[in-house]
Structure 1
Amino acid sequence: MNGDASYSIGDLARHAGVTVKAVRFYSDRGLLPPAERSPAGHRRYRHEALARIELIRTLRELGLDLRTVRQVLDRELPLHRVAATHAAALEVQIRTLRLRQALLTAAAERTATLEEMETMHRLARLSERERRELIEDFLAAVLPDGPQFRGVATSLTPELPEQCTEVQLRAWVELAELAQQPDFRAVLRGLAERQAARQAAGAVPVPDPVARVLRRVRPALAAGLAPEAPGAAPVAATVAAELRAAGVDPAELAQAHDPRLARYLDLLAVVNGWPAPEDPGPALAWATTALRAHGA
């Protein structure tokens, strides 16, 4: 139709893809150009009204309220500024939806109880400052004071990106749950305190017990050597001798083999976007069994 043509309220609604009630609503609030009247008193709208109502519909679908729509139509607000504001608001909504999706997915996979769901929801909603405080509390609980543990603290600190993925968010929630477990904290504290005691006694800094065991045990694992087999005795003796020379009680391997520690490191890598760490579990289990079997 050309600009001189006119529409009945029904025709306008049909062409614009809205209801007659919506056309009347927008018209009565002055959002459409004034309607003319037919000889019978019915409203007639020009083509400009169709263009205006299509714009209103677009703005409403983008989430603008009627007050903002009026300001845009009356040129009281520049459209680019309104678009920027609402784009930011949509980003918040998207993060919220991503959070809900991550929580529901995690709850479904774990068959979580109501109490666990509440905990997960609380952890996922923490602000950046609250997340940082939670991890700082955890690290203060498991690491003794001293400059030698500053690097360790940094390497154990998760940094959830602002634009995180669902996988990263779920990993953060599980990691935060682990970090609050008192018995897990006690295990890590015990390992760190023994390391601090060795250093205080003047022991020469050496790789941590896990690194030493991995280096010695990897070839035996790769060869498929059973830890109870006679051929494993020399490996067990070497591991025991190296650990004792470094002032490490071989019994510490049982604590280092705590699967929660390996899980924490796996989750940490996911949250921080690091490569997946090597799982020390098989090597530690092999060494623990070999030491016990061969009396090393």
Structure 2
Amino acid sequence: MDDENLLTIGALAARTGLSVKTIRFYSDKGIVPATCLSPAGYRLYDVAALARLELVRTLRELDIDLATVRRVLAEETSLAEVAAAHAAALDVQIRALRLRRAVFAAVANRESTPREMDLMHKLVNLSDAERRRLIHDFIDDTFGGVDANPAMVELLRSSMPELPEDATPGQVEAWMALVELVQDNDFRAAVRRMAEYQAAQRADGDTTGLHHDLTETVREDVGRALAAGIAPDSAQGGAIVATLSARYAETFGKADDDRLKSWILERLEIADDRRVTRYWQLVAAINGWPPLPDPEPVFTWFARALRAARAGQA
């Protein structure tokens, strides 16, 4: 072996930037053993040892433990496998850090108390399954045991709030508000009454679904009336009620008469809870969906127009 190509431990330290103490430690542990000893008993290292030490330094800078470093050097595991495992671990850490940052920003925005911050931190660090369980518990409590509209129950279960890995402070705040809402006993009781009303309607033979098209028609027709400044108790308002009543009669297979208008009004009054709209707005915010419009002006106008139409026929 050509001694001129060998490096002393001091020269190796100068080439790698590692301390002599660290190199001696790796050598003693058999991770980067000395290539040979000089006549005076000093450790000498060849180019292969230098390359090995450079790899060890890189792996350790990436926070890979010595046991794994040893397995890589011994070719007991591939560098690709180690890199994949550590990339996955870093993904978890990055997600946790992003959530932590979002929590702190949300706490600052809300001027939260220490207790609220602790609760927020616990809620955002739940697993996806644990977060879904909170919503499923709400659905089970409000719709369980009654024959409510199955399409509504399916919509609720299929529209789970999914807090993203890179959640913004706004999404964290929305998640916190949603948890507070679904755990509110008064809100649960109100939703339960809606479920029981749906069950009573089904017992009377109503097996129709969610009527998205009908709801959209109401929003469009009444929205135009609102934009045009049409009063709900005007002749034009009455004409809009007549058009919409005909659509309800067709959809539900009912006679288009005054009793139908009373029935429509009853449905609107049962569903008239701003917290339901708030629920869907929070889910949309958490999931990054487009903001949901507030339906309250539309259905308030429609209810007033229905009452006016009934009074005119009395």
Report the TM-score when normalising by structure 1.
0.76
> Which of 182, 187, 191 matches 1:188?
191
Per-residue Cα deviation, 1:39-88 (whole angstroms, up to 9, x for no partner) = 77654433223211211122123332111111211222233333333333
Whole-angstrom CA distance in 1 between matches of 2:146 and 2:261: 20
Whole-angstrom CA distance in 2 between matches of 1:21 and 1:160: 54
Q: Secondary structure at the match of 2:154?
A: helix
- Give the structure 1 partner of residue 223 of structure 2: 218
- Give the structure 2 partner of residue 54 of structure 1: 54
- Give the structure 1 partner of residue 277 of structure 2: 262
Correspondence 1:132 to 2:132: yes
Distance verdict in 2 for CA 1:81–1:45, change over 3 Å: same
- Give the structure 2 partner of residue 153 of structure 1: 153
Q: Give, in angstroms, the shift of residue 215 of structure 1.
A: 4.4
- Counterpart contact for 2:146–2:195, Cα < 8 Å: no
> Where do residues 83-232 of structure 1 align in structure 2 (5 Å cutoff)?
83-143=83-143, 145=145, 148-157=148-157, 158-159=159-160, 164-167=165-168, 170=172, 171-202=174-205, 205=208, 207=211, 213-223=218-228, 225=229
Distance verdict in 2 for CA 1:56–1:215, change over 3 Å: same
Gap runs ≥5 in structure 1: none
Distance verdict in 2 for CA 1:286–1:116, change over 3 Å: farther
Q: Give, in angstroms, the shift of residue 138 of structure 1.
A: 0.6
Bigger drift between 126-135 and 197-206 goes to 197-206
- Counterpart contact for 2:163–2:287, Cα < 8 Å: no
- Give the structure 2 partner of residue 64 of structure 1: 64
Q: Give, in angstroms, the shift of residue 180 of structure 1.
A: 1.5
Q: Percent identity between the aligned chains?
A: 42
- Counterpart contact for 2:230–2:236, Cα < 8 Å: yes
- Counterpart contact for 1:138–1:179, Cα < 8 Å: yes
Distance verdict in 2 for CA 1:238–1:12, change over 3 Å: farther
Q: Secondary structure at the match of 2:112?
A: coil
CA RMSD of aligned residues (A): 4.0
Per-residue Cα deviation, 1:122-158 (whole angstroms, up to 9, x for no partner) = 3223334433332222112222545652221221234
Whole-angstrom CA distance in 2 between matches of 1:151 and 1:230: 36
Whole-angstrom CA distance in 2 between matches of 1:246 and 1:20: 90
Q: Give, in angstroms, the shift of residue 173 of structure 1.
A: 4.5
Q: Give, in angstroms, the shift of residue 261 of structure 1.
A: 1.9
Letter in 2 for 1:114: P
Per-residue Cα deviation, 1:179-210 (whole angstroms, up to 9, x for no partner) = 21212222222223223323323468584896
Bigger drift between 4-13 and 250-259 goes to 250-259
Alignment length (residue pairs): 294
Letter in 2 for 1:234: G
Bigger drift between 159-168 and 47-56 goes to 159-168
Gap runs ≥5 in structure 2: 249-257
Q: Secondary structure at the match of 2:45?
A: strand
Distance verdict in 2 for CA 1:239–1:57, change over 3 Å: farther
- Counterpart contact for 1:156–1:268, Cα < 8 Å: no
Q: Give, in angstroms, the shift of residue 251 of structure 1.
A: 6.9
Distance verdict in 2 for CA 1:283–1:91, change over 3 Å: same
Bigger drift between 157-166 and 70-79 goes to 157-166
Distance verdict in 2 for CA 1:10–1:154, change over 3 Å: farther
Whole-angstrom CA distance in 1 between matches of 2:48 and 2:19: 18
Q: Secondary structure at the match of 1:137?
A: helix
- Counterpart contact for 2:56–2:69, Cα < 8 Å: yes
Whole-angstrom CA distance in 1 between matches of 2:261 and 2:64: 67
- Counterpart contact for 1:143–1:153, Cα < 8 Å: yes
Bigger drift between 279-288 and 22-31 goes to 279-288
Q: Give, in angstroms, the shift of residue 290 of structure 1.
A: 6.6
Whole-angstrom CA distance in 2 between matches of 1:67 and 1:9: 23
Whole-angstrom CA distance in 1 between matches of 2:243 and 2:4: 94
Report the TM-score when normalising by structure 2.
0.73
Distance verdict in 2 for CA 1:216–1:146, change over 3 Å: farther
- Counterpart contact for 1:3–1:47, Cα < 8 Å: no
Whole-angstrom CA distance in 2 between matches of 1:219 and 1:147: 36
Letter in 2 for 1:182: N
